[in-house]
Amino acid sequence: MPLKKRRYPFQNTSIRYTIFIYFTVSALAASIFIGLSMYSRMSGQMSAAIQEENQILINQLSRTTDTYLRTIMKLSDSLYYGAVKNADLSDSSINREITLLYDNNKDNVENIALLSNDGRLLEAVPAARLKTNLDVTSEPWFRNTLEKTENLHFSIPQVQYIFDANENQYRWVISVTRAVEITQGPYTDQGVLLIDIRYNSLEQLFDSVSLGNGGYVYLISSGGDIIYHPRAQLLDSGIARENNVKASEYRDGNHEELFEGKKRLVTVKSVGYTGWKIVGVTPMDGVSLNNLKTKLFVVFIIAFILFILSIINSYISSRITDPIKELEKSVNEIEEGHLETNVYAGGSYEIQHLGNSIQNMARQIRRLMDDIVAEHESKRKSEFDTLQSQINPHFLYNTLDIIVWMIENERQSEAVKAVTALARFFRISLSKGKSIIPVRDELEHVRNYLMIQSMRYKNKFTYSIEAGEGVEELASLKLMLQPLVENAIYHGMEFMDGDGEILIKAWREGDDLYMSVGDNGLGMTQEQVENLFAAAEHVPSRRGSGIGVRNVNERIKLYFGKEYGLVIDSEPDEGTTVTAHLPAVPYEQVAQKVT
């Protein structure tokens, strides 16, 4: 019994009619969906817009506050490093330096004082004295500063109570303290540097800021203490309350909360070093939409959409039909493998765009097939160049330690020699991003490297560099000899008895350039030599430039051809000689082609 063929809706109808039916049904479904979601969508958009505006305003205020605080932090650094740290308070006074810095910042600063660790006032600008019977060593801010010496400490706003000066007695300030090192004769001890910031200078940053619709901005510490609030007097008197403790727990961003029976939008932004938070508050009733107007607007939009869709429905269905058939013929040609087929690109914009995209896709397939080999080779070059650009920080640190040791032991001439060698080493390592350099520069690069290593190992080995006539102006691969010399030092002679010898040669034989690195170190077995070239992946050297011997060999082959590379001749306890084989080509000729 033959199977009955299953029939589908609109199976025998035309494309145009099918599109018309489906388009109409989809339009009705979309209209219903729009009617259900328009109100919530528009409300969400308005809320998002207000949140974004609040976020922008809070971020701008945060940057302004951060700049203000950084000015105070820079003043603290200037006082410490420019006046206190290098001064001997037993011989000279630093009052002049502190006064100069105070005069330059007195619009924002109330007092600057330097206190010893036992609470004595060493310096104060403007001139002041500690209040009688006030033991600053028992103050929490004083103990906290000496316990956490690495930080700057910001207090909450307070009436200045430390100094006995009538004109400053009722000034509101924010104190910034830090632990400092004080020198008095042969003795060095800790002290506290105190800067009182004028509260009104910080207050001015916030006074002119308003979020609109009954919103406002305030500033709190990381513990929830209010630093600035536009309703500070009402809060102090208990007439108003603020949800500042909960706000201090919020992460940066927008949050909705219920406070005293009212919903409100809270925008939080942390301020840099201090841990302070700027909090913007906007009542949610200022964000909601008018329900009646919104519903009427939604109904109008739905009716307008249905009207427009009914007009363009028949036009679209007929417009799409014929171009689709022509496009299908072109796609069938490409499917059969004819990538050069001219694809039809008529009809509506979408069909034209689709036809052009298919045409471009076919061309790109052919282009990618042609470029894939070259791209693979370029990727390998990029990987090798990345390895080449790496510089082991331990080599730099050790070199700098040697230079510091020479300077401390008054061996200035040797320090100058080491610094010069290091500078030349890095200059040639960079080479303006070039991968091909003259043999002269490659030999100079390894000469500087050997000079530094010889100083580091205290002349444990000797070295010599020999270059044949006419060799120095030939082309060489940058950072080729250094990894070979690293192996000679670290693996060849680091654990050997007696003095090591390293011999570097460069010579030409006809159309070939040879550069070798030989040592009288421990040597290698044939198996060890073969293992150096066994792996296919790029294995960086663990100590030096980041380029292992295997990678040097692959770089030579990649840049100059498979017939070139490294040859290793080694015997246990006899030493090792690694010879690099390159084409003998003038540098100027190669530099135009390879970088």
- The count of residues in the chain is 595
Q: Which domains does the chain carry? A: 85-201 (3.30.450.20), 390-591 (3.30.565.10)
Q: Phi then psi for 345, rounded to 5 degrees?
A: -140, 55
pLDDT band, very low/low/confident/very high, at 294 (cuts 50, 70, 90) = low
Q: Which of 155, 161, 152, 150 is nearest to 175 (CA)?
A: 155
What's the rounded mean pLDDT across residues 43-70? 82
Provide CB contacts within 8 A for 481, sequence distance 6+: 442, 443, 445, 446, 504, 515, 517, 580
Q: Is 549 helix (H, G, I), strand (E, B) or coil?
A: helix
Cα gap 213→207, rounded to integer Å: 17
Whether the pLDDT of residue 10 is over 60: the answer is no
| pLDDT digit string, tens, across residues 303-361 | 787 777 777 777 777 767 777 777 777 788 777 777 777 877 777 677 778 878 888 88
Mean pLDDT of the chain: 79
Say what the pLDDT of residue 431 is: 58
pLDDT band, very low/low/confident/very high, at 491 (cuts 50, 70, 90) = confident
Handedness of CA 232, 236, 242, 245 (dihedral sign): positive
CA distances from 11 to 5, 15, 166, 320, 353 (A): 12, 10, 98, 18, 28
Does 236 or 44 have the greater pLDDT score?
236
- In the sheet that holds 262-271, the strands lie side by side as 226-228, 216-220, 276-283, 262-271, 253-259
Say what the pLDDT of residue 1 is: 45
| pLDDT digit string, tens, across residues 163-202 | 876 554 578 888 899 999 998 888 888 999 999 998 888 8
The two tokens of residue 143 are: 């103990």
pLDDT band, very low/low/confident/very high, at 539 (cuts 50, 70, 90) = very low
pLDDT band, very low/low/confident/very high, at 437 (cuts 50, 70, 90) = confident
User: What spatial distance separates the first Cα and last Cα of the chain, rounded to whole Å?
Assistant: 76
pLDDT band, very low/low/confident/very high, at 593 (cuts 50, 70, 90) = low
Does 546 or 450 have the greater pLDDT score?
450
Say what the pLDDT of residue 568 is: 92
Cα gap 501→213, rounded to integer Å: 83
| pLDDT digit string, tens, across residues 214-273 | 788 989 888 888 888 888 888 888 888 888 888 788 888 888 888 888 888 888 988 877
Does 194 or 435 have the greater pLDDT score?
194
Cα gap 44→288, rounded to integer Å: 9
pLDDT band, very low/low/confident/very high, at 579 (cuts 50, 70, 90) = very high
Say what the pLDDT of residue 69 is: 87
Does 132 or 109 have the greater pLDDT score?
109
H helices then E strands: how many in the chain? 15, 18
Letter string b/e over residues 406-422, b meaning 16 or more CB atoms within 10 A of that residue's CB: beeeeeeebbebbbebb
Q: Is 514 exposed, middle or buried (0-12, 13-18, 19+ CB in 10 A)?
A: middle
Whether the pLDDT of residue 536 is over 50: the answer is no
Least confident range from 286-300, 452-466, 577-591: namely: 286-300
Whether the pLDDT of residue 208 is over 60: the answer is yes
Whether the pLDDT of residue 75 is over 70: the answer is yes
| pLDDT digit string, tens, across residues 367-392 | 776 666 565 655 555 555 554 444 55
Q: What percent of the chain has pLDDT over 70?
A: 80
The two tokens of residue 467 are: 């270059």
Least confident range from 199-208, 294-303, 385-394: namely: 385-394
Q: What angle do CA 124, 127, 130 make, to 5 degrees?
A: 65
β-bridge partners, 54: none
Q: In 240-284, which ranges are E strands?
A: 253-259, 262-271, 276-283
Q: Are the beta carbons of 94 and 123 closer than 8 angstroms? A: yes
Whether the pLDDT of residue 131 is over 50: the answer is yes
DSSP per position, 143-174 = HHHHHSTTS-EEPPPEE--SB--GGGTT-EEE
| pLDDT digit string, tens, across residues 521-533 | 888 888 888 887 7
The amino acid that residue 505 corresponds to is K
Q: Which of 133-137, 424-428, 566-570 has the highest mean pLDDT?
A: 566-570
